[in-house]
Structure 1
Amino acid sequence: MEKRVNIAVVPGPGFSHLVPILQFSKRLLQLHPNFHVTCLIPSFGSPSSASKSVLETLPPNIESIFLEPVKPEDLPQGVAIETQIQFTVTLSLPSIHQALKSITSKTPFVALVADSFAFEALDFAEEFNLLSYIYFPSAATTLSWYLYVLKLDKETSCEYRDLPEPVKIPGCVPIHGRDLNNQAQDRSYKSIERGGKRVPSGVSCWTNCSNW
C-alpha cells in the first residue's frame, strides 16, 4: 500500500471559489488515490447552504474545515466584490495559520495549494516546510497578465486604458488597455500588482491551460 500523502488547500471565500478547488481536489485524488486533502475554508458571515450541500457529497479522503468567519462589518463597504474577497482572506490569515499549525502537529503534510485570491496563505508554506502551489482556474491569458503586470506597471505612467498601443501580454493576442478587466482600470487598486508579485514565488501553478 502506498504511503498516504497529505495536502492542504485554501480556496478563496465564496461558493464560486470553493467548487473549483474541490473539483480540482477530486481530480487529483483520481490520479493519486493515496492523497488526502484538507480544505481550509475562509468565509464572511455564515457558510451558505449551497456550500454545505457540496461538502456533504465529498469522498472520505477530502476533509473540510470552516475557519472562523470574518464579520461583514469588518470588511470595507462600497468597494468591488474582489476587494472584499481579498480582505476576507487577509483577515482570515490568523485562522489559516492556526489551522495549519494544528493539523501539521498531528499529521505530516507535504504541500499547500492556494486559490489565486488566497495567495497570502502561501506565506506560511516555508514555516511549515510545505511545497507551495497556486491553483489558478481562470484562463491562461489571465495568468499571463498577472505575471506581466509588474513589468508593465514599471514601464507605464498613465492609466492602462489611456495607452496608445495595445498591451502585448506574452503568449497572447495584444489587448487594448481599455479592454483589460475592471481591476486594471484604476491603478490605485493594488490587488493585481500584489497578485503578480505572489504568483511567480508560488514555484508551481496549476491552471486551465486548455483555455486561453
Structure 2
Amino acid sequence: MAVDGKDTQKPHVAVLSSPGMGHVTPLLELAKRLVVDLGFQVSFLAITTDAPPAQLQLLNNNPTLPSDLHVIHLPHVDMSSNDSIAIRILQIVRESLRLLPSVLTNLNSHKPPPKALIVDPFCAEALETASDHSIPTYLFLTASASFLALTIYFPTLHAEVKGDYGKIKERVFLPGCMPLWVDDLLPDVLVPEVLPLCNRFPLVKGIFVNTWEELEPVPLCAFKNHPFFVNLPMPTVHPIGPLTKDKEVDVESELLTWLDKQPCDSVVYLSFGSGGTLSAEQMVELAHGLELSGKRFLWVARPPGADGASGSFFEVGGDVSLTASYLPDGFLERTRGAGLVTATWAPQVAVLSHPSVCGFVTHCGWNSVMESVVHGVEMVAWPLYAEQKMNARALVEMGVAVRPEAGEEGVVGRAEVERVVRLVVEGEEGKEMRGRVRKMQQSAVEALGGGGSSGGCLSRLGKEWRDGSTG
C-alpha cells in the first residue's frame, strides 16, 4: 500500500480535541505521526466554540499539515460562562458533542471507517457516542504520567474524604508513586466536577500519555505492577512521548534575528504559555529583576490579567500591542540591546532550539516542559494554574529546574528574580541543571527512535489497528 498521496484504503483514525492550544497541539502532533510515520489517514475533529485565534491559525489552511490529515470543525454553539477554565471547557465540549453523532455517522460511511477515535480527557463524554457507532475509543492525556495516576486514583480519594479535600493532611499518597503535596493540587486540580470524566477512563481501550519510560519510570511501573492499578478495570497505558511541535521553519521573526546576534548560552527566554498572565505588580517585579540581573533575555510579556493567571487562555494569538504602560518607566529603553520584549507571540520551538538560549522561565504547562527537555534547556519553574505546581515540583526534584520563592502576597520579588536568572545563566547549579536536562534530551531522542520505547509503542498499536485488533 502506498504511503505517499491519498489512498482511500489507508487505515483511518479520528482524533477529537477540546479547545485550547494545550490540548490541540499534542493531539495534532499525534495525528501527524499517524499519517507520516504509520501511513494512516486521520480525521481531526476540532471544537470551534471559543477556540483561541492561535488554534484557528494552526488548523486552518496550514501548509505544513500532511495531505491525509483532514481537519473537520464542529459547528459553533452558543455559550456564555464566567466559570473557571476547566468548567468552561467542559460546558463547551458538552454542547459541541451534541453534534458528534452526525459527524461519526458520516465518517463511518467512508471507506474505510475509523479504526479508532482518540479523545482528550475533556472530551470523554464522546465515549458513549463512539460506542453507539462501534468505534473503539482511546484517551490521550496531554499531561504527565503522574497526573494520570492522580486522575485514576481521584474517585477513590474523593470517596475516602467524602468530597472534603480539606481533610487531606499535606500529601496525597498515590499507590506505587511519589506522594503529591496537596498545596500543589488545590484549588485547581482536585475539582469534583471532573469526577464523571475520571469514572469514564476504564471505558476506553487504551490511554496515550505524552511521556516516556526514562522520564517517568515510577508511575509507569506502578500502572503495570501495583495491585491498586492492576486490579482496576484499567486500560493499557501507552507512553508515546515526547510529542512536540516541529521547529517553525521559514519564520521571519525579529526575535530570531535578535537571537542570532547573541552569544551562545547567554539568553533567558520567558513565556507563561498560551493562556498564562501575571498580575500588574508581578510584571513590574519581574521586569526590575531582569534589569538587575544584567543578563540577556527574550520576554513574551502579555498585558497583566484582570481575570486571574489563566486570563488569556481563550484569546491567545489575538492582536495585542506592546506598550510600556504595564512595565516600569524607562525599562524598555534601559534594557534595549540586552533584552527584547514582545507582547503577543514567539516561535517557541525555534527559540528553545536556538544556541543562544540557556534557560526558560516557564509556567510548567506539560507541552512547554516537553519542548524544553527535547531541546535541552533548563528551566525556572513558575507555575500559574491547573496542574502546573505539580509539574514544577517534579522538575525541581529531577534537578532540571529552579523555583523562585514568592513573598507573603504571592509575588516573586525583584531580588529573587535576579537570583534565579543569574543562577541559570552563570551559576554552577545552572551548569549542573543543564547537564541533567541534556541527558534527558538524549533519552527523549532514543525513546522516539525506531527501537525506542515510545516509537515502538506507537508502532505496535498501529499494527494492531491495521490487523483489525483493537485490544
Change (3 A) 1:207 1:99: same
Secondary structure class of the residue paired with 1:41? strand
Change (3 A) 1:51 1:163: closer
- Residue 145 of structure 2 contacts residue 211 of structure 2 at CA under 8 Å; is this kept in 1? yes
What is the CA–CA distance in structure 2 between the aligned matches of 1:42 and 1:135, rounded to whole Å?
A: 16
Q: Which residue of 1 aligns with 2:31?
A: 25
Q: Which residue of 1 aligns with 2:92?
A: 88
- Residue 87 of structure 2 contacts residue 193 of structure 2 at CA under 8 Å; is this kept in 1? no
Change (3 A) 1:49 1:196: closer
Aligned residue among 56, 63, 69 for 1:62 = 69
What is the CA–CA distance in structure 2 between the aligned matches of 1:185 and 1:111, rounded to whole Å?
A: 30
What is the CA–CA distance in structure 2 between the aligned matches of 1:135 and 1:162, rounded to whole Å?
A: 31
What is the CA–CA distance in structure 1 between the aligned matches of 2:25 and 2:142, rounded to whole Å?
A: 11
- Residue 161 of structure 1 contacts residue 176 of structure 1 at CA under 8 Å; is this kept in 2? no
- Residue 11 of structure 1 contacts residue 114 of structure 1 at CA under 8 Å; is this kept in 2? yes
Q: Which residue of 1 aligns with 2:180?
A: 175
Q: Which residue of 1 aligns with 2:103?
A: 99
Change (3 A) 1:182 1:30: farther
Q: Which residue of 1 aligns with 2:210?
A: 208
AA aligned to 1:101 is T
Q: Which residue of 2 aligns with 1:8?
A: 14
Count residues in correspondence.
Answer: 204
Change (3 A) 1:69 1:181: farther
RMSD: 2.0
What is the CA–CA distance in structure 2 between the aligned matches of 1:8 and 1:182, rounded to whole Å?
A: 34
Q: Which residue of 1 aligns with 2:123?
A: 118
- Residue 75 of structure 1 contacts residue 88 of structure 1 at CA under 8 Å; is this kept in 2? no
What percentage of residue pairs aligned between the two structures are identical? 27
**For residues 23-52 of structure 1, what are the alpha-carbon distances to aligned partners after superposition, in whole Å with 9 as ceiling and x for unaligned?**
11112223311x11001111224x544233
The structure with the larger Rg is: 2
- Residue 110 of structure 1 contacts residue 129 of structure 1 at CA under 8 Å; is this kept in 2? no
What is the CA–CA distance in structure 2 between the aligned matches of 1:165 and 1:92, rounded to whole Å?
A: 38
What is the CA–CA distance in structure 2 between the aligned matches of 1:96 and 1:19, rounded to whole Å?
A: 21
What is the CA–CA distance in structure 2 between the aligned matches of 1:135 and 1:87, rounded to whole Å?
A: 20
Instruction: Compare relative contact order (CA 8 Å, sep 6+) and give the higher one, 1 or 2.
Output: 1
Secondary structure class of the residue paired with 2:188? helix
AA aligned to 1:61 is D
Displacement of 1:158 in angstroms is: 5.9
Change (3 A) 1:158 1:101: closer
Q: TM-score, structure 2 length as denominator?
A: 0.41
What is the CA–CA distance in structure 2 between the aligned matches of 1:156 and 1:49, rounded to whole Å?
A: 41
Q: Which residue of 2 aligns with 1:52?
A: 56
Kindly indicate whether residue 143 of structure 2 is the aligned counterpart of residue 127 of structure 1: no
What is the CA–CA distance in structure 1 between the aligned matches of 2:164 and 2:90, rounded to whole Å?
A: 22
**Structure 2 stretches lacking a partner, 5+ long:** 3-8, 217-471
**For residues 102-127 of structure 1, what are the alpha-carbon distances to aligned partners after superposition, in whole Å with 9 as ceiling and x for unaligned?**
12123322110001111111212211
Q: Which residue of 2 aligns with 1:197?
A: 199
**For residues 175-207 of structure 1, what are the alpha-carbon distances to aligned partners after superposition, in whole Å with 9 as ceiling and x for unaligned?**
232321533455xx321x112101121120000
Secondary structure class of the residue paired with 2:125? helix
Change (3 A) 1:185 1:109: closer
- Residue 161 of structure 1 contacts residue 179 of structure 1 at CA under 8 Å; is this kept in 2? no
Change (3 A) 1:98 1:181: farther
- Residue 133 of structure 1 contacts residue 203 of structure 1 at CA under 8 Å; is this kept in 2? yes
Secondary structure class of the residue paired with 1:37? strand
What is the CA–CA distance in structure 2 between the aligned matches of 1:25 and 1:144, rounded to whole Å?
A: 24
Secondary structure class of the residue paired with 1:32? coil
Q: Which residue of 1 aligns with 2:303?
A: none
What is the CA–CA distance in structure 2 between the aligned matches of 1:135 and 1:185, rounded to whole Å?
A: 20
- Residue 116 of structure 1 contacts residue 134 of structure 1 at CA under 8 Å; is this kept in 2? yes
AA aligned to 1:6 is H
